[in-house]
Amino acid sequence: MLTPAALSADEASRYHTLLQTHSGTEVALRAIRPDDKYQMLDIYPTLSPRTLYMRFFRVIDAPSLEDIARYTTVDFALQLAFVVTLGPEQRMVAAGRLIRATAQSKVAELSCLVVDDCQNRGIGSVLVSELFKTGHRWGVDQVIALVHSENHPMLRLLKNQGYPCEMLYDEGEFTVTLDISQEPTQANSVSYQTSIGAMHQVV
C-alpha cells in the first residue's frame, strides 16, 4: 500500500473536496475560513438543546460574533477544522475539528456537530471519516473523543469508521480512543448493540 503524502498546515488550510454520503447526498467539505463566522452566528440559535448538550455537555447561550471568530480563525498547525456545505447556496450544515496540543503531537481531540435538520443523513460520518484520513496525513495517529453515554449516534458513527477503538466509561461519558494510523476494517466496526451493551454491563 502506498503511504499517503503528508499534509502541511498550509495545505490543510486550503483543503477542499466533494463527498457523497451513504444515502447519496452530495456535500462539499472544506477547511474552515474566518468569514464562516457569519453563517455560524446564524446557525447557533437554530440548534436544539439536545444537540448543544451533546456537543458541549451543557446548554450554552448563543455565542457572540467575537466568540465565534475565535472558532473560525484557525491555526492549521494545531487544528484541522472543516465545514460541510450543502447545495449551490453552500449552506453550512456541519463542522468538525481535530485539535492537538503541539504541532508535533500525534494525539488529537475530535469535536463535531451537524445541524439538527441534517442529522441522521450520513453527513457526520463523511465529515469524521475525512477528518481521520486527512488527520493522519496531517500527523495524527490517535484520536480521542469525549462522548456522552446517551449519544448513541456519535458512538455508532465512531465505531462505524472501522479503526481500532477503545471506549472507557466514567460518570456518564465515554472516552473513545481510535487508532487512525491503521487502515480501517469492517472487522473493527463491531456491532453497536454488542459493544455498547457490553459497556453498560461493566458499569
Ligand X SMILES: CC(C)(COP(=O)(O)OP(=O)(O)OC[C@H]1O[C@@H](n2cnc3c(N)ncnc32)[C@H](O)[C@@H]1OP(=O)(O)O)[C@@H](O)C(=O)NCCC(=O)NCCS
Site membership for ligand X, residue 114 (CB under 6 A):
yes
Site membership for ligand X, residue 72 (CB under 6 A):
no
Binding mask 130-159 for ligand X (x = CB under 6 A): ---------------x-x---xxxx-xx--
| C-alpha cell belonging to residue 137 | 496525513
Q: Which of 37, 97, 100, 121 binds ligand X (CB under 6 A)?
A: 121
Amino acid occupying residue 104? Q
Piece of the chain touching ligand X by CB under 6 A; list 36-44, 64-72, 109-117, 130-138: 109-117
Q: Which of 73, 119, 149, 188 binds ligand X (CB under 6 A)?
A: 119
What SS3 state is found at 132? Answer: helix
Q: Which of 30, 33, 55, 137 binds ligand X (CB under 6 A)?
A: 55
CB 66 within 8 A of CB 40: no
Q: Which of 51, 73, 149, 188 binds ligand X (CB under 6 A)?
A: 51
Q: How far is the CB of 142 from ligand X (least distance, A)?
A: 16
Site membership for ligand X, residue 39 (CB under 6 A):
no
| Buried b / exposed e along 58-72 (16+ C-beta atoms within 10 A) | eeeeeeeeeebbebb
* Residue 109: other Cβ atoms inside 10 A: 14
- Residue 62 phi, psi dihedral angles, 5° rounding: -60, 125
Site membership for ligand X, residue 120 (CB under 6 A):
yes
Q: How far is the CB of 145 from ligand X (least distance, A)?
A: 5
- Residues in the interface with ligand X (CB under 6 A) total 22
How far is residue 95's CA from residue 50's CA, in Å, rounded to a whole number? Answer: 17
| C-alpha cell belonging to residue 91 | 449552506
Site membership for ligand X, residue 63 (CB under 6 A):
no
CB 134 within 8 A of CB 7: yes
| Binding positions for ligand X, 153-192, rule CB under 6 A | 153-154, 156-157, 160
Cβ neighbours of residue 166 closer than 8 Å, sequence gap 6 or more: 176, 177
Please report, as ranges, the residues that interact with ligand X according to CB under 6 A: 51, 54-55, 112-114, 119-125, 145, 147, 151-154, 156-157, 160
